[in-house]
Amino acid sequence: MVWQWVAGRDRVSLLGVCSGLVLMLGLVGCKPSGGEERTSAVEGGGKGQAVHGQCQWVARSVAVQWTAFKTTEKIPVHGRFREVEALDLDSSGSSAVAAFRRARVAIPVRSLFTGDTMRDRTILEDFFLVMKGGDTIYAEMVRILEAKDTMLIRIRMNGMESIVPFRYWVRSGGELDTVVAEGEIDVLSMFGAEEALRRLNVACRDKHTGKDGESKTWEVVEVRVVGLVRRSCPS
């Protein structure tokens, strides 16, 4: 699965989606303050700008998907956000992943899309908008550990924040490379969203009831973040 997006400096708009998995990076409710100290860095790999004679990678876009789960059988529900606003994506580096070392994004949750209009409305009104500041999700890169193929992303939701590890890999594709990162968030332990999860489970009780007669909405959500980078090499 690859999401292909075209990004201006401030907003990312969807061109197309191929089949695939996974976010709820959709879970943040307090906007980062302008004076906040940020600690983004890259460790264990290329640091800073590429030296003369090497390729340079420039960040172009970020996209987000999620997979939530319902019933005790843990049936997946896939979704995505149609809009991702790039608050800071104007960076470059000596590797594809290093180009995202300063990435910050905001996700308007009203751009939620699962392919079912009624389900979209229920998730929006009975989950996201129940939380503090739940109309927008914020996330930013904290640190990239290239030696461990891991990036740490700070996610803000429900007036809380948590730094979440994501495993990543890079797909080479000519001038455009793709960085794919996958992780998990727990909306209860990380973001204290008990009331939002309870409201969602009540609203979806029938649809979330399995063969055992039990209604279950899982608190863990799988997240996939996809970034595109443009590669520029000296001739």
212-234 b/e with 16+ CB inside 10 Å = b? eeebbbbbbbbbbbbbbbbbeee
The pLDDT, as a whole number, for residue 92 is: 85
Q: Where are the beta strands (DSSP E) in the chain?
A: 3-7, 12-17, 42-43, 56-70, 75-81, 83-88, 92-93, 104-108, 112-113, 136-145, 150-157, 160-171, 176-186, 220-232
What pLDDT, in 10s, does the model give residues 87-107? 998 778 889 999 999 999 999
Answer for the pair 85, 63: CB distance below 8 angstroms, yes or no. Answer: no
Dig out the tokens for 147 from the structure: 């030696």
Q: Per-residue confidence at 14, pLDDT binned at 50, 70, 90?
A: very low
Q: Return d(Cα 150, Cα 169) in angstroms, integer.
A: 9
Measured distance CA(133)–CA(156) in Å, rounded: 10
Between 18-32, 48-62, 89-103, 221-235, the lowest mean confidence (pLDDT) is in 18-32
Burial class (CB in 10 A: 0-12, 13-18, 19+), 110: middle
Residue 228 near residue 176, CB atoms below 8 Å: yes
CA angle 25, 227, 91 (to 5 degrees): 105
pLDDT, tens digit, for every residue of 145-195?
999 999 999 999 999 999 999 999 999 888 899 999 999 999 999 999 999
**Residue 19: what pLDDT?**
33
* pTM for this prediction: 0.77
Helix (H, G, I), strand (E, B) or coil at 130: helix
Q: How far apart are CA 12 and CA 63, in angstroms?
A: 8
Question: Which residue segments constitute the domains of the chain, with CATH numbers given?
Answer: 7-14+21-29+38-232 (2.40.128.110)
